[in-house]
Chains A and B, each alone.
Chain A
């Protein structure tokens, strides 16, 4: 509990470190903050051309919104995925790249991980605002759904934070974590319904004579229901499935607790290992 109190006292430091991340990120680049919009725009354009135009993935019609647009269907899931992916992918480096600080000053070390995740959250929030505007232009009245959207973002943030705590501290002791993570993320992208709708995954499939409930297995991955929830709110304009919401929340809380525990176990020797 003293750790929590200490953490609470370091709010200001958290804010400053987050600002440092944000300021440092685009320092000395000509486009500066433009990059944080240009990056997702490029991704959207690429996926839209490949999957929407070439492969002609048929987006479902939003219910009850009636929206029928592959690009928007894509973006509603791509943004939460990008948040997850960039936060998790950068997390193994968080402590190591701040080694200088860890070796020379005392402060609760979690702050570094929290501020790194938070700075990426800020980018995500900016992108989400742009998305809301696009949805409004397309005729989707998302404004009343903003509170639910914020709830979803908060849940995803906790999930990301839990993972980041684990990955950041493990990578200090075992530097392969970083490589493993980027490999896993590349596979995970296609295992989450970002560029295609969930309905594309068959309910059942017989593999080697065994009848597998493929859709159910597929949905064990908490990112699947999470992305689905985002889509329900933004694309369909409907409250997410409560079962899914509870399931994802459970994961987020469990990962955060695990992350906290792992971090406090491995944290004491950080200053000499980074």
Chain B
């Protein structure tokens, strides 16, 4: 497999103008050009997107994802380094990829198609597909300025994929479409990939990246932090974002002082495997103000999904401090990273969002006979049915 997009040592510098000379008066007053500072939006980024794969670019706001994508699309020229692309590139960047608001959807399809490099004849033969995919047959003769932002994106996306690109670059736009359209996009992506096309997508929807992408790259302040398997890169990013506070995450706020993970023998454990017997031990201190205290624990997957919230009534028996164990005979969660948080509240009171900065982080490895996908081990039993009469 060769690289569809090869990025080699790419750096991109922007100029930040303090005050732009936009009027004659301002420039006469200040002299020649406006002053500016330089700012590196990308610094020595190297990566390869293999042909026929879907690739995600992730990172926090302003980390340089769009900049990198625009460099791939040749809209921006890097200050140093090289970008090599193999085949026809089509880019869909943000809302309204160059639509003219006064013109109708139909006119814009032709205009946009030719901007993206389609000939008139090709466009005419694909016109119905384009409009059909966007689902805008009824509105195609209305000026696009009257479109909703979702409709705008649908039409733009529909043109961009019907250009029949070898490489499709997408920035953040799909989130605007409705559920139905997103499903159609998902199908279309699958189709494109089965045809050996390459997709590079910038998004903050990390579950999409995990689901759809084979590879991913994580950018931070213009530097490439990690590139590799999409699952690993997303987990790395989430791990950075929700990093437990220093001190190995043994303290929790909100009256629960400590959470411990113990193995079957009652020894502190650092990791475990699906199906292992484990104990979660919670150390708490009940404040005077709390009546009928309830300890609620919460287990989050790194993606943000809360997988369980066990709770128990606790008593202030000998004093305000106490300790309660949660024994789990066969740990049901599949491999991944989970955060355990806990809080004491009054019975019946709502529980706030647990502060994940104070979580106990546990890493679960794949157990002997656990599934490789999903979140929980169902612990079910398969049985072949032999006496069922076929319909």
Contacts and interface: CB of A to CB of B under 8 A. Distances in A.
Query: A and B from one assembly?
Result: yes
Interface of A: 12-13, 16-17, 20, 23-24, 27-28, 100-107, 173-176, 179-180, 268-269, 271-272
A271 B111 contact: no
Contact of A105 (B22, B98, B100, B107): B98
B114 A271 contact: no
Interface residues of B, number: 34
Nearest to A180: B24
Contacts of A272: 14-15, 76
Given A24-B100, A28-B102, A106-B91, A179 B24 contact: yes
Interface of B: 14-15, 20-24, 27, 33, 70, 73-77, 89, 91, 93-94, 96-98, 100, 102-103, 107, 110-111, 114-117, 119-120
Contacts of B20: 175
Contact of A173 (B33, B73, B96): B33
Chain B interface mostly: loop
Interface centre among B15, B27, B115 (most CB of A within 10 A): B115
A174 B33 contact: yes
B61 to A, nearest CB: 18
Nearest to A173: B33
A12 B120 contact: yes
Contacts, number: 75
Contact of B24 (A12, A17, A102, A176): A176
A105 B75 contact: yes
A128 to B, nearest CB: 28
Contacts of B23: 175-176, 179
Contacts of B97: 104-105
B25 to A, nearest CB: 9
16 contacts: A12-B119, A20-B107, A101-B115, A104-B91, A104-B98, A105-B91, A105-B116, A106-B89, A106-B91, A173-B33, A174-B33, A175-B21, A175-B23, A269-B77, A271-B70, A272-B15
Contacts of A175: 20-23
Contacts of B22: 175
Contacts of B96: 100, 104
A271 B91 contact: no
Given A16-B110, A105-B115, A271-B75, 15 more contacts: A20-B111, A23-B103, A100-B98, A101-B98, A104-B91, A104-B98, A105-B73, A105-B98, A106-B89, A106-B91, A107-B115, A173-B33, A175-B20, A176-B21, A179-B24
A175 B110 CA distance: 32
B356 to A, nearest CB: 37
B243 to A, nearest CB: 33
